[in-house]
Structures are given as C-alpha cells and as structure tokens.
Chain A
Amino acid sequence: GAGVSQSPSNKVTEKGKDVELRCDPISGHTALYWYRQSLGQGLEFLIYFQGNSAPDKSGLPSDRFSAERTGGSVSTLTIQRTQQEDSAVYLCASRTVGNEQFFGPGTRLTVL
C-alpha cells in the first residue's frame, strides 16, 4: 500500500522567502509528526497532530514556523522568512494505534 509521501523532495530557496512543505500520511493514520534533521545530526521534533489538532508544538523553533492539518489527513509545514539555518531535511511521519511510526522520504530544504 501507499506509504507516507512528501513534496517537494527538494526545495532550494533564497533567504527571506516563505516555503511550504507538504505531507500526505498513510490513509487512516490519526497521528502525524514533523521532524527536521540537519546534516549529520539527530532528529529534531517539531510538532505532532492528533487528528487536526496539535497537542504538542513545543519543538517549533520560532514563530516563523507553523503547521496545519486539514481533514485529518494532509499537513503543511510553513516556514516564513527562511534563514540559512533552516536548511535541513524535513521529515514527516504518521502512525495509528498499534502500529509503528512510518516516515516519509523527507523534503531537503536548502536556503541560499
């Protein structure tokens, strides 16, 4: 069956521009998670959704970062006024009760 998909797979942007990253979770997975991973670093938790609400958004690094989820399915992570330190791979994962957390292939963001 279809796994978690993310788009775009790669995004190059100029400093100061806004970017929007998309995640399509596995159908029926109620929980959705966003992480980022800088080169050679561990996973950094950003936010998680249960349904359309976000019980834990403690990992968002600044108010330039926001995320939403609609219809209990697709989620978008928006980064406003991007900075070079935002360059990383942004990973999305989804999960349902009794199942493991499945990750998407990630979006590689490069801010020039």
Chain B
Amino acid sequence: RKEVEQDPGPFNVPEGATVAFNCTYSNSASQSFFWYRQDCRKEPKLLMSVYSSGNEDGRFTAQLNRASQYISLLIRDSKLSDSATYLCVVKNRGSTLGRLYFGRGTQLTVWP
C-alpha cells in the first residue's frame, strides 16, 4: 500500500467555484503534513503546512484528521491561476530531516 494516496482527478471547475481535495496516509506515526503545488513542467513548491487544528491561508484551508489518517485541502473562489497539480505530502516520525512521502497529485484545471 502506498504511503500517501490521492485521487488523481482531473478536477475541472469554473472560476469562483469551491473545490476540495482529499488525501489518505497509511502510517499512523506520520508527524508532519503539507500540501505542495506543481505547475506544468515546473518543480513542486510548498503551498502550506497542515496543522492538527486546521489552518487557513487566504482562500486555502487545510484540515487534518489523525484518527482517520486523512488530509484535505479546500480552495474557495477558484482562480485561473490555481490550475496546477496539488501534492499531498507526509513526513513520518523520526529524523527531523527525513524523507517526505509525496502523493501522486491531484490535477486541477480552473476554466473561465
């Protein structure tokens, strides 16, 4: 079983829509959680960390459910520029600088 599973999509939504992505992780000892964004033919970049109490950054809201081993990302009022692949990322307990586990990504296209 993969460490991190995501629905690959694609999600195609109109501008202004709200869209949610989900992700599950298999290791209950996972410690840190992130969402990365990858634009077409570009390298991944950190979008936001995910905290236990949930956190918001502008139009983006991340939630973590440790009991269900589930992470979500909600994007409100979608913009054309939100079109990208969103990667769910998990770090397991252990070395502070240990490897991150990346999901395969969920592709989002926002259309005018």
- On whether the beta carbons of A41 and B104 are closer than 8 Å, the reply is yes
Nearest to B41 among chain A residues (CB) is A89
- On whether the beta carbons of A103 and B43 are closer than 8 Å, the reply is yes
- On whether the beta carbons of A97 and B43 are closer than 8 Å, the reply is no
Alpha-carbon distance A30/B98, docked complex (angstroms): 11
B26 to chain A, nearest CB (A): 15
- Tell me the total A-B contact number using a CB cutoff of 8 A: 43
Q: Of B44, B95, B100, which contacts A50 at CB under 8 A?
A: B95
Instruction: Count contacts on B: residues with CB < 8 A to the other chain.
Output: 19
A41-B104, A43-B102, A103-B44 as given contacts; A31 in contact with B87, CB under 8 Å: no
- Of residues 12 through 53 on chain B, the ones whose CB sits less than 8 Å from some CB of chain A are 34, 42-46, 49
- Of residues 66 through 112 on chain A, the ones whose CB sits less than 8 Å from some CB of chain B are 91, 95-97, 100-101, 103-106
Alpha-carbon distance A65/B44, docked complex (angstroms): 23
Nearest to A94 among chain B residues (CB) is B97
Counting contact residues on chain A (CB < 8 A from B), the size range is 20 to 34
**Chain A residues with Cβ under 8 A from B46's Cβ?**
100-101
Query: Does A56 sit at the interface, judged by CB under 8 A?
Result: yes
**Chain B residues with Cβ under 8 A from A35's Cβ?**
102
- Of residues 15 through 65 on chain A, the ones whose CB sits less than 8 Å from some CB of chain B are 30-31, 33, 35, 41-43, 45, 48, 50, 55-56
Alpha-carbon distance A111/B46, docked complex (angstroms): 30
- Of residues 44 through 64 on chain B, the ones whose CB sits less than 8 Å from some CB of chain A are 44-46, 49
- On whether the beta carbons of B99 and A48 are closer than 8 Å, the reply is yes
Q: Add 5 more A-B contacts to A42-B103, A42-B105, A48-B99 (CB < 8 A).
A: A33-B99, A42-B104, A45-B102, A103-B44, A105-B42
Q: What are 21 of the A-B contact pairs (CB < 8 Å)?
A: A35-B102, A42-B87, A42-B104, A42-B105, A43-B87, A45-B102, A48-B98, A48-B99, A50-B95, A50-B97, A55-B95, A55-B98, A56-B98, A56-B99, A91-B43, A95-B97, A97-B96, A97-B97, A100-B49, A103-B45, A105-B42
